[in-house]
Every structure is written in structure tokens, then in C-alpha cells.
Amino acid sequence: LCTTILMVFVINLSNQEVRDRDYFFVVGYNMLLIWTGIGAMGLMQLANSKATKITVVAIIGILPIFNMATQYHQHDRSREYIALDYGINFLNSVEENAIIFTNGDNDTFPIWYAQAVHDPHAISHTYPAKDVYPDAQSQAAIKIAMDFKNKTLKGIRKDVTVANLSLLNTPWYIRQLRDREGVLFNWSEDDIDDMFNLPVPRSLEVSAGAANPEMSFSIPLEERPSWRPDEYYYRMSYKAVMRIIQDNFGKRPIYFAVTCESMIGFDDYVRAEGMVNRVVHTQAGYEEQVDIVRLTQNIDEIYQYRSIGDKRVYKDDNMQRLVMNYAAAFSKAGSYYAINNELDKAWEYRNKAQAMAPGEELKMIEFYVRYYAHKGAWQDLDEYLNANVYSHPEGLAIYFRYVMEYLNHFDLDIALRYYQKILLQYPENDRALQFTVGFTQDLGINNALATMLEQIKGQLYYDVKDAISYLRGELQYEDDQEIDEDEAMGMYDMVI
């Protein structure tokens, strides 16, 4: 009881744990086995006759056989290569001597295994490094690191440095990256020990230096991290990532794994290449930057997908989430071809994404919106929304985030039609109106939107008079506060 039920109250886990953590109860499992053994011996001692003893032995023998028969499929790893391929595919995505930022254990451990352990099933592929100009200091650091890694690691792609975002909160790990991985890190020992108190600049300046002055960019920083508006400070890992990129950009290829929850403010300065996003000096427009040649080469030729389609291999929820990242890469390729009006290719990659993750139509919404918009297949888009979005508990937010955000950039006349559609789809929910006003602040369509509201106000279950007055410039928000798209997404209540 102390190591199982009572332990639940001792640990007091939150309701946002990412998975069942069975290993917390290992001691409880061991105690159960001990008591099971004691119970089995007790039954043997209680048996008086030979027949009774045979019966007891048979029951005791059948129990583990039954467990094995019913649970063997879930625990059989004889054909399971998903985790291994996951690590291999990350490593083979990047160029020589790359640095890759990973998020947690699910993306980091497979990479470490592929690097550290000689596995006959691991196949290595290395892209030559491009757009890098390592100086003497960087070359010397890489050589020292490779001398060490070649002695201690037995796997593939030992040239790649893995920088785990969680561990970057610790001084010892930063020193390990500097001393064992060849990462340039221009902080003093005192700075590393006192990372939390290091100041954050108003602007982060990144440059390849004199080797290529054009490879330069800057990122404005606010008092709070813009990618985590609920946090009041910059984590040590955020500062470490910024320092690593500043000191190594242009000297080594730098990537974020797609599994990273955040790219630490570099979102506009990364280029999608499959399972990784490369840090580049060019800034994205509305659409993210995509190296379609590298992306398709990775997902079509380089990556291995063993076990994914093998029905003999049991796949738990965690493995299903891993596979979704492959589907997302195929969907990204499809979206790229859709916005470039190569619709046949776009649908081809849609089919590949669907084969990876059958039944996950909603998670491909970005592709479908772009594909149907560029094809002009508005009825098909309507059918997709009816089947996948409107019935979802968060359908309203999904609609604005993925449908309206794109249509605002695609065609304002069509966007206006789809604002009307969503208002009529949720006639009793005034949040639809709040989102609509928030999403159209800077589009110059206030008068058209007000006219549309006049036409449909009789079909809505709430009063739109104040909204119309605001759109016509006759009414101001309370305290003259403007409402941006984040507020329209429900972060704050809008007051009309």
C-alpha cells in the first residue's frame, strides 16, 4: 500500500503529465512479486494430498503463461525499429558537424543511442556542410571533440552535437557541450554559474562575421519571452540557446528538431527541411521557409520508416505521436506544392501523409485549406470543415487559427464570405463575433464587415449593434485598448 496507493498522494502528479509513468511504482511491483511468491509457497504448504498439490502447481504455472499469452504482443520488440529509426532520421537530416537542439527525452534518447551504440540496423548518411565558414577556433574545438567521441562512441553521425533544451538549464551540461562537443561558448566560468542573472539584450544580433557579412540578422527581445507570454523571466536554457547560436552561427549548421516546443524566438529565421528546421539569416514572410529539395529528399529517400506499417508491431500512444511528425513532414511538402499551384504533387504528398497517420484529417488542416483555396474548390473545403472542424470542442478557435488566418492573406473577398459562414455556423456564440473583429483589425474591411453584419443580424442570437458601430468608427473599445489576433483567439476578453 505504501509503495502504490499511498505513493499516488506522495507524488501528487499534475493532470498534465505527458504519459503514464509506470516506473514510479517499480518498488510496488517488486513487493507484489515477493508477496505473490510467498502466497504460492503458502498454497503448496496447505495442500495435503498429491492431487491437490498437482492442482496448485498447475494453477501457479498457468498464471505466468496466461500473462505472457495475453501481453506478449505489447512487449515484443523483435521487429520494432521505430525508436531507432527516429534517432537515425534526425541525425541523417542534418549536415556535417551540425548542432541540433532537441526538446526532451523522446527525441533525445533515440539520437544518443544511435550515436553511442553500434547497431547493425543503423544506416548513416551525411550531407556536406553548406553556408558555413568555420574559423580556426571552431575547427580546433571540433577536432578535440571528435577525438574524444571517436574513442567513446560506437554509433553513427558522431559529428553531430545534440543540445537538449531541458538540460541547458544546468551549468554542468553547458560545460559538457563546450568541452566534449566542440561548441563555442563565449561565457566565463562565472557567467555559466550565474546564468539566471545574466542580462538579456534588447536585440539579439547574429552574424556569420567577416566570412559572409550578408549572413546576419537580429531578433528584438522583450522584457518577457514572447514565445512564453505567461512567463516573467528568461530561462537559463533560453539564454544558452541564444549564446550558442550567436557564437556558432556561420561556423556550424544549426537546427531545431521539429519536436521542440519552442524555437526560442527564432521562428521567423528557420527553414523546414523535414524532421529539422535549420537556422538561417533570411526572414520568413507569412508562409514559413521551406527547402523543398532537402525536405523531399529526406522524407522520400533518406528516412527509414521500418515497423510503422507492420501490423505485427504494437504501437502505443507515444509511438503514434512520433509517427505524426513524419506525417507532418509529408503534409508540409504538400502545402508547399499547393501554394505553388503544383496541385497534383500536393495531393500525392497528402496521400503519403495520410498513409502515415490514417484518420488524422484534422491535423492536416493547414494542407487542406491551402490546397482547396488554390484549387478554387470551395465546396470541398466546406465539406471538410463540416466533417472535421465544426463538431470539434475547439472548432471555433481552430477555424480562425487555420482557416481565417490563411484566407486573410489569400483573398479578402473570400475571407469575408467565410467570416459570414462562421458567424452563421455559431449563431448563439458571440465569441465568433469577437474573433471576427479581432482578426480583421488591420485588413481595411471594416465597412464591408459592418454591412455583412447588418445583413445577417436577424439570424444571430445576440446583439451586434455595438460591433457595427465600432466597425463604422462610431464607438471605441473600453479604455481605447485595441484587440489583436491573440486576444481574438481567446487570450483576453474583448469589450465592445
For residue 477, the model assigns a pLDDT of 62
Nearest to 399 by CA among 435, 361, 346: 435
Q: How far apart are CA 103 and CA 259, in angstroms?
A: 6
Phi, psi of 273 (to 5 degrees): -135, 20
Contact at 8 Å (CB) between 354 and 333?
no
**Strands (DSSP E) along 11-87, which ranges?**
none
For residue 481, the model assigns a pLDDT of 44
For residue 491, the model assigns a pLDDT of 34
Q: How far is CA 122 from the centre of its chain?
A: 24
Going from N- to C-terminal start, the domains of the chain cover: 5-75, 82-298, 389-496
Secondary-structure percent of the chain, ordered helix, strand, coil, rounded to 5: 55, 5, 35
Integer-rounded Cα Rg, in Å, for the chain is: 28
Q: How far apart are CA 366 and CA 399, in angstroms?
A: 11
- Which residues of the chain are modeled with pLDDT < 70? 16-20, 477-496
pTM (two decimals): 0.88
Please name the residue that has the C-alpha cell 487555420: 402
For residue 485, the model assigns a pLDDT of 53
pLDDT in tens, 439-494: 998 899 999 999 999 999 999 999 999 999 999 988 776 544 444 455 444 433 32
For residue 478, the model assigns a pLDDT of 58
For residue 22, the model assigns a pLDDT of 77
For residue 487, the model assigns a pLDDT of 46
pLDDT in tens, 338-388: 999 999 999 999 999 999 999 899 999 999 999 999 999 999 999 999 999
Instruction: Report how far apart, in Å, the C-alpha atoms of 480 and of each of 470, 476, 496 are.
Output: 11, 6, 10
What letter does residue 117 receive in the DSSP assignment? S
Q: Exposed/middle/buried for 203, CB within 10 Å: 0-12, 13-18, 19+?
A: exposed
Q: How far apart are CA 183 and CA 100, in angstroms?
A: 11
Instruction: Report how far apart, in Å, the C-alpha atoms of 61 and of each of 38, 44, 52, 56 are.
Output: 15, 12, 14, 9
> For the range 142-148, what are the long-range contacts, defined as Cβ-Cβ under 8 Å and sequence gap of 24 or more?
142/97, 142/182, 142/252, 143/182, 144/182, 145/180, 145/181, 145/182, 146/182, 148/180
Give the HSE-up count for residue 426: Cα atoms under 13 Å, Cβ half-sphere. Answer: 23
> For the range 301-306, what are the long-range contacts, defined as Cβ-Cβ under 8 Å and sequence gap of 24 or more?
302/89, 302/92, 302/93, 302/125, 302/274, 303/85, 303/89, 303/92, 303/93, 303/274, 303/275, 304/81, 304/85, 304/88, 304/89, 304/123, 305/85, 305/356, 306/81, 306/82, 306/85, 306/121
